[in-house]
Amino acid sequence: MSKKRWLALLAVTVLFILSSVFNFSATTTTTTSNWEELFKTDDQKWVERTLREGDRKEKIVVLDVNGVIQDQEDTSVLFSSVGYRHRTFLSMLEHAAEDPDVEGIIIRVNSPGGGVVESAEIYDKIRSIQEEYFKKVYVSMGSMAASGGYYIAAPADKIFANTSTITGSLGVIMQSYNVAELAEKLGIEEQTIKSGEFKDIMSPTRGMTEEERAILQSIIDDAYDEFVHVIVEGRELSEEKVRSIADGRIYSGSQAKQLDLIDEIGSYEETVDALIEDLGLGNLQVIRYETSVGINDLLQLSAQKLTMNQGDLLGLQQLLRQTNSPTLMYLYTK
């Protein structure tokens, strides 16, 4: 092993020991206020950043759903990828629900959708906030709030969109590739040992049988029925109307307004103004949650930088996240 690698290994070991000592100390001693300001502990998840000043302690929280809605959470705050972080978002929703000073929540959606399960988890959390905590939830659509992006908007008390917002794409999709002919030309032969006839369903190296297609279509139909139910309940529309417009096509914000898929044409700022007015509590402050940084994150960052460069790390993260398994999605694909 080279001298450089030995030094890197030694540095990582030292950082690991320091991290362990800190964690032990945190459970046996009380930190000073100055230390708490410098390094946030685990129970201080969120830092509040004021977006608009108010004259009361009550507040409105703005949360963002940016990117594909998938559960691909990073363990490190500092090394988390840019975009949507599912577990973080759900935790923020829960925190806003439990905070007695939070009177309302605005979810800013800019997403083509994502996983069926993840979308359902957000939907359930929003319904819980409305039914258990009696808090209003408004949605402000950005440039795109399609498929799963609309699914999570459907239960909102009010939905706002720009005239040019791309929304709709109401439906379910599951995709894979058939590369059988290419594999044959390249002399690639797949060797599969399976326990049942359908264990390799949607294999990319062979065509799909009619029986396999029927199995997958039944799953798609179940997820689609759930999507329709969510829109019927959230938008108070008839099932017949929802099924007629939920054929996968996209709509502009103006078209969505005509179809009663949204409530108002308006910007993010107008959504904030509308929620404040509807709450009728005066000039409320508007805040956003930001992730606090703990000493463990700093130590982890230092260790990762010593062992590999950032380009290598991002490439490794992307590789580890890739999967060949077909996934059920509420997703708008171009």
CA distances from 187 to 182, 183, 202, 204, 206 (A): 9, 6, 21, 15, 14
Residues 208-224 as b/e (b if ≥16 CB within 10 A, e otherwise) read eeeebeeebeeeeeebb
How many Å apart are CA 306 and CA 297, to the nearest integer?
Answer: 14
Using DSSP's 3-state secondary structure scheme, residue 329 falls into strand
Select which of 111, 140, 147, 203 is catalytic.
147
Query: Helix or strand or coil: residue 254?
Result: helix
Name the residue with tokens 């969109």: 161
* Residues whose CB falls within 8 Å of the CB of residue 100, separated by 6 or more in sequence, listed in order: none
Rounded (5°) CA angle 104-107-112: 165
**Considering 194, 199, 244, 267, which one is annotated as catalytic?**
199
DSSP structural state of residue 39? S
Known catalytic membership, residue 147: yes
User: HEC states along 192-234?
Assistant: CCCCCCCCCCCCCCCCCCHHHHHHHHHHHHHHHHHHHHHHHHH
CA distances from 243 to 119, 229, 295 (A): 19, 10, 51
Is 185 considered catalytic here? no
Catalytic residues: 147, 199
